[in-house]
Structure 1
Amino acid sequence: MKKNRLIALALCAVLLLSLTVSFAAAEEDVPTFRIIVSANVNTDDLNENEFLKDLAEQAGVRIEYECVYTDWDTRKSVLLTSGDLPDAFIGWNVLSNSEVSYNLPLFANLGELISEEATPNLYAALESDPTYRDACSDLDGNIYYLSDRMPFRPSTYASFLINKTWLDKLGLEVPETLEELEEVLIAFRDRDPNGNGEQDELPLYMNLSGDEAWSIAAFMGAFGCSGSITNYFALDGDTVVYQPLTENFKEFMTWIAHLREENLMPAELATVDDSQFNARLSNETPIVGMTTLWDKSPIGAAYQDEYIAIAPMAGPNGDRGVASNIAISAYDCVPKFVMSADCENKEALMRFIDLCFIPENGVQCFYGPIGTVLEETEDGLIMVDPPEGMTWNSWKYKYAVNGGWPVLGDETFEALFAEVPESDSAKLEMVAVNEPYQNTNTLPKLKFTPEETDELSIVQTDVDTYVTKKMTEWFANGGVEEEWDTYLQELHNMGVDTYVSIYQAAYDRQK
């Protein structure tokens, strides 16, 4: 009996050893991929993300993530120069269109890996949404990267935010024109609306440069500028216009310099950095009368509700507009997933990516896992309130690469929600006042040839840097009228005509 028991134990040991060896062999057979992620500083280590682990298991792969939170541009440059790439890249601004097209031999042609049989969900996404296919396609028509279509996007960027509590205290109405705005700003400057007995109010506090979402460029529509999201380019019909060359821009900057001269904008804006800017907005006592932001999150939590979004104001000639964001908002048209040409077993990695295009998976890639960030109800998904001390803005990034993962946030995706997620609804409510005034004839995201990219690397830097420099100087010291002709000549000497012609050629290819 004892002998039989020993034999049985020995057999069990052999079986256990066999299973262990088989399991280890199976583990070794699982394709493993290294992916570098350009991540938000609020995003947790994706290697600990249980949802992504489950997704990888469904695809029969293992993913090792390297999340890069800071100094990505420097790191990226080293990688591209060396050619020693990870298996793939994922993330917001992980690579630019030109960085991909300029280095095509380094990257896999994903179009060769996409089919109804191998990647049914991604294939269906590209077939059902031609605009999304265009967003993912290079100039040669091939697909070297996947972009995304983001859900619940606003139709405009800019949000003018004004302290309504101050208006009410001073008996003032919401301004409808720039003339009325100036009267409001003078009252903010002189009549102590925050009630602390000090003249510490900053009537108008805005960045001097940057896109229309958070800079003085939001006022350009009041001066007949046709609307621009980035780079100050806009369209007049089908003609590309670089607005810093126009008389309208001259009038706009003259008005901005006037506000500074009247102390309606503080001199510090010429030198302030992001941390100092945000510190003013979140001061213990509210000191900013009006600003423009993407959302209210930089404003002190204790008094965010004092600020309301207002419509763009009419300028001296009755112009009243704001640039539409429709052309570039949902379809970001930039790489969110790029695979190395040297990646082994490309088909296996594409199985993983394909699963992200199932809407129920896509919402979790974009917002975070169901059961953590999202909650299932009878009516659909809702976003769980962030933990105490965490903003919506940081909460939506904690478990996901929000806005940086290849997903299709279309109507099917959005229909999974019982309500618009709080992180998006606040912005949508803010920009609703802009809709009657939006200019939809805005320049889309453009794609450039390698030759054009080479030229832009010189002329764009020179021209944009000079324009920003002059805007800052004119804000601080005035002199727009006196220096305008010299300024224009300098821009032409720098090659602004080449700059415009490259953008015109790129637009003509895509329109």
Structure 2
Amino acid sequence: MKKKRVYGLIATMMLAASILGACSDNEENKTDKSGNADNVNATGMPIAKEKIEVDGFAAKFFASQDWNSLMLWEEYEKMSNIHINWTTVQTEVLADKKNLLLAAGNYPEIFFASAFSRTDLIKYGQQGVFIPLNDYIDKYAPNFKKLLEEYPTVKQGITMADGNIYGFPTIYDPKFESLRVGAPWINQQWLEKLGLKSPETTEDLYKVLKAFKENDPNGNGKQDEQGWGSGYGIKQFIDYLRGSYGLNKQGTMNPNLDFKEGTEEFRFVPTTDEYKQLLEFLNKLYSEDLINKDVFTTEPQKFAAEAGEGTFGMLSEVDPKELFKLDGYVGAQVLEGPTGDRQYTAMSNGLGNLGMFVLTDKAKNPEAMVRWIDHLYGDEGTKMFFMGFKGVTYEEDAAGNIKYVDNITNNPEGKNLDQAISDYLTWPGGYYPGIVTQKYFQGAEAKENSINNAKQVMPYALKDEDIIPGLNFTLEENDQVSAILTDIQTYVDEMTASFITGKASFDKWDDYKKTIEKMGLEKYMEVAQGAYDRTK
């Protein structure tokens, strides 16, 4: 879920006078809204003593859903005494729709599941459109406040460069290991058929994939087997191999940055010798048809149909048994690279999108709405959001174990789990504020195979304290680097594909590096280093 759906800076002591002025305006806006605090119960339900109505905008995954008559929101209204008048759009058009609302000034009191970026949060926060949440969190969000105390790097990550928090994020519980880490899946039956062991080095991987392709492990007398496949792009391959090539030892919240060895000085990952070695290895696999040739163009739905035929020896993403109904796959090993590196580094601190719930300056009841959203970060609210309602969407045994009812997991209308649960809840699609915990999330990552996969990865995984949160820039810094980084990232992505497919020769590596330098890399690195140094 986190990899495909989901798929993440820092407080300063001082800011320019213009930014401080904007903060003062925000404080005035916040103070002006305190008149309705007397209508809010300090604890428990209902949240509002007298019923209130709130205009809300949200993104949804399924077009057929009507949030104004959905069980989740109807039941939560009964509990909280808060009615939301929902306007919803599908995730595909979310960016355009929310930007139009903000540009026209015709925006609602709350944005829910609207995926505002760090740039959006600091921009609209400084303009006074999004109100600072710090004081409200302190007074009205005990569940969320507890999480910030437990995971200080999450607090770092959501605190903008002006010291304010403008959005409630998605949090993937750091204790939920199988949601945070996982190697690709390798066909154990094929390994046994060919008398092979699961690869432990990058060279082993090459030999195993080659054997899968050439030695008929499915025993049908045809050379229809394929090596390693993914429907979600080359990033899945790169992320698995980063730690085998000594890259991203500070995690992938800032995927283009890691430290020079023995320092806290950033280097730009896509121009390192190690990244070149990684691309050379992938070029070797690609040129010998050991990874799916359409990896740069295929879409998940199209790839799923191909993968479901069982012709791939190794698959990225979630457990093939859950995704494609394929048996025989187990988690692959974390690989040792050509210079002895063996680590899993494609990790975050558990922080997903920052701007999944924001309050605008039109919010008439900010205290109540902070309590409303805080419920989704507590145990009961998380249970309601992901599992729904006892006797309707889930059942509970005497020991307190819960699971979806048969109507959800084996839907008589032929709906898959996401479709069936979406008749009641909104979480499928990955757009939501709240915390994803193993206790109440029952997707593929919570199943036994994924848990076993994570167990063998964890000895090689980064420690939480080594993972750097995403960098938060000031408005001025953001203006300086946004255009630079957009152009550089586009070029890096294009050249990564070209090097892997062989369209560009590795003889052109120095030219590639010089081009990136000419695009303003030095300025970007200077600003990024400054943003990190502020955290210290």
What TM-score bracket applies, with the shorter chain setting the length?
A: 0.7 to 0.9
Aligned-residue identity in percent: 26
Over 3 Å counting, the alpha-carbon distance change for 1:447 and 1:153 in structure 2 is farther
Q: Distance in 2 between matches of 1:112 and 1:178?
A: 50
Could you tell which deviates more after superposition, 81-90 or 494-503?
A: 494-503
Equivalent in 233, 250, 259 of residue 285 of structure 2:
259
Q: Distance in 1 between matches of 2:147 and 2:468?
A: 25
**2:527 matches 1:506:** no
Q: Report how far residue 114 of structure 1 moved.
A: 4.5
- State the AA in 1 paired with 2:97: R
The corresponding residue for 1:462 is 487
The corresponding residue for 1:401 is 427
5+ residue gaps, structure 1: 1-28
**2:364 matches 1:314:** no
Q: Distance in 2 between matches of 1:225 and 1:128?
A: 28
How many pairs does the alignment contain? 467
Could you tell which deviates more after superposition, 119-128 or 197-206?
A: 119-128
- State the AA in 2 paired with 1:45: D
Q: Distance in 1 between matches of 2:445 and 2:297?
A: 32
1:240 and 1:500 in contact (8 A); partners too: yes
Q: Report how far residue 115 of structure 1 moved.
A: 5.4
The corresponding residue for 1:15 is none
Q: Distance in 2 between matches of 1:368 and 1:140?
A: 38
Over 3 Å counting, the alpha-carbon distance change for 1:480 and 1:406 in structure 2 is same
Q: Distance in 2 between matches of 1:35 and 1:433?
A: 43
Instruction: Indicate the SS of the match to 1:64.
Output: strand
Could you tell which deviates more after superposition, 437-446 or 307-316?
A: 437-446
Q: How does 1:71-470 map to 2 (within 5 A)?
A: 71-91=93-113, 94-104=115-125, 105-114=128-137, 116=139, 130=152, 133-151=155-173, 153-154=176-177, 156-206=180-230, 211=235, 214-227=236-249, 228-229=251-252, 231-236=255-260, 237-282=263-308, 285-296=309-320, 299-301=323-325, 303=326, 305-323=327-345, 325=347, 327-329=348-350, 331-332=351-352, 334-384=354-404, 386-388=409-411, 389-391=414-416, 399-401=425-427, 404-407=431-434, 417=439, 421=442, 423-426=444-447, 427-440=450-463, 441-470=466-495
Q: Report how far residue 102 of structure 1 moved.
A: 0.6
CA-to-aligned-CA distance 1:89-138 (integer Å, 9 cap, x gap): 111x621122011112111223344454x556556666676555445433
Q: Distance in 1 between matches of 2:146 and 2:504?
A: 57
Q: Report how far residue 366 of structure 1 moved.
A: 3.8
1:43 and 1:401 in contact (8 A); partners too: no
The corresponding residue for 1:476 is 501
- State the AA in 1 paired with 2:163: G
Q: Distance in 2 between matches of 1:161 and 1:127?
A: 35
* RMSD of Structure 2 on Structure 1 (CA): 3.1
- State the AA in 2 paired with 1:202: Q
Over 3 Å counting, the alpha-carbon distance change for 1:245 and 1:166 in structure 2 is same
Q: Distance in 1 between matches of 2:296 and 2:138?
A: 53
Q: Report how far residue 482 of structure 1 moved.
A: 0.8
The corresponding residue for 1:61 is 82
Q: Distance in 2 between matches of 1:261 and 1:165?
A: 26
CA-to-aligned-CA distance 1:48-77 (integer Å, 9 cap, x gap): 333432322333221122332222112122
Q: Distance in 1 between matches of 2:370 and 2:226?
A: 52
2:177 and 2:454 in contact (8 A); partners too: yes
Q: Distance in 2 between matches of 1:347 and 1:33?
A: 12
Could you tell which deviates more after superposition, 480-489 or 447-456?
A: 447-456
Over 3 Å counting, the alpha-carbon distance change for 1:297 and 1:124 in structure 2 is same
Instruction: Indicate the SS of the match to 2:295.
Output: helix
- State the AA in 2 paired with 1:380: G
Q: Distance in 2 between matches of 1:150 and 1:270?
A: 28
1:160 and 1:309 in contact (8 A); partners too: yes
The structure whose Rg is larger is 1
Q: Distance in 1 between matches of 2:533 and 2:386?
A: 33
5+ residue gaps, structure 2: 1-49
The corresponding residue for 1:26 is none
Over 3 Å counting, the alpha-carbon distance change for 1:50 and 1:206 in structure 2 is closer
User: Normalising by the residue count of structure 2, what TM-score does the alignment of the two structures yield?
Assistant: 0.78
Instruction: Indicate the SS of the match to 1:176.
Output: coil
Q: Distance in 2 between matches of 1:266 and 1:133?
A: 40
1:139 and 1:449 in contact (8 A); partners too: yes
Q: Report how far residue 34 of structure 1 moved.
A: 1.9
Q: Distance in 2 between matches of 1:165 and 1:349?
A: 53
Q: Report how far residue 295 of structure 1 moved.
A: 4.2
Over 3 Å counting, the alpha-carbon distance change for 1:186 and 1:44 in structure 2 is same
Q: Distance in 1 between matches of 2:374 and 2:297?
A: 46
Over 3 Å counting, the alpha-carbon distance change for 1:438 and 1:393 in structure 2 is farther
1:178 and 1:313 in contact (8 A); partners too: yes
**2:69 matches 1:48:** yes
Q: Distance in 2 between matches of 1:121 and 1:256?
A: 44
Instruction: Indicate the SS of the match to 1:149.
Output: strand
